[in-house]
Amino acid sequence: MSKRCVVASVLAIVVVLAVVSLPGAANAQGGTWPPLEIQTALQPQGALLRYDLVLKNVSDVDLVDVVVKSSLPSGTAFNRFESIDYATTGFDGSDISFTILKVPAKKMVGPLSAYIDAKGADPNTLQSKLFAEWRGQTPGSLVIPATRLVGGPAEPAKVATVVTSVLEKSTPQATPLPEATPSAAPGSFPLWDMVKTLKGHKFVDLTNTFSSGIPRWPGFPNAQFKTIYEYDKDGLFAQEFVHVGQYGTHLDPPAHFHKGLRTVDQIDLNEMIAPLVVINVADKVAANPDYGLTVDDIRAWEAKYGPVPEGAFVAMRSDWSKRWPDATAYENKDAKGQAHYPGWTVDALKYLYEQRKVLGSGHETADTDAAVAQLKTGFAAESYVLGTNHYQIELLTNLDQVPEAGAMVFVTVPKPRGGSGFPARVFAIVP
Answering whether pTM is above 0.85, one says no
Question: Tell me, what DSSP letter sits at residue 290?
Answer: T
With 0-12 CB in 10 A as exposed, 13-18 as middle and 19+ as buried, what is 259?
Answer: exposed
Instruction: Tell me, yes or no, if 340 is annotated catalytic.
Output: no
| C-beta neighbour count of 280 within 10 angstroms | 20
Question: Is domain 25-170 given the CATH code 3.20.20.70 in the classification?
Answer: no
End-to-end CA distance of the chain: 61
Domain 224-430 fold is Glucose Oxidase; domain 1 (3.50.30)
Q: What are the residue ranges spanned by the domains of the chain? A: 25-170, 224-430
Q: Are 19 and 157 in contact (CB under 8 A)?
A: no
Predicted confidence pLDDT, tens digits, the chain (431 residues): 443 333 333 333 333 333 333 333 443 344 566 788 878 888 888 888 888 888 888 888 888 888 988 888 888 888 888 867 678 888 888 888 999 888 888 888 888 888 888 887 777 778 888 888 888 777 888 777 776 765 333 333 332 222 222 233 333 344 454 555 566 666 788 999 899 999 999 999 999 999 999 999 989 999 999 999 999 898 899 999 999 999 999 999 999 999 999 999 999 999 999 999 999 999 999 999 999 999 999 999 999 999 999 999 999 999 999 999 999 999 999 999 999 999 999 999 999 999 999 999 999 999 999 999 999 999 999 999 999 999 999 999 999 999 999 999 999 999 999 999 999 999 999 99
DSSP, collapsed to helix, strand or coil, labels residue 380 as helix
Backbone φ and ψ of 424, nearest 5°: -120, 160
Backbone φ and ψ of 108, nearest 5°: -115, 145
Q: Are 122 and 151 in contact (CB under 8 A)?
A: no
What is the predicted pLDDT for the residue at 325?
Answer: 96
Cα 200 to Cα 20, 164, 203, 345, 431: the distances in Å are 51, 53, 9, 37, 9
User: Catalytic residue among 243, 250, 256, 390, which?
Assistant: 256
What is the predicted pLDDT for the residue at 28?
Answer: 36
SS3 of 90-133: the string is EECCCEEEEEEEEECCCCEEEEEEEEEECCCCCHHHCEEEEEEE
What is the predicted pLDDT for the residue at 121?
Answer: 79
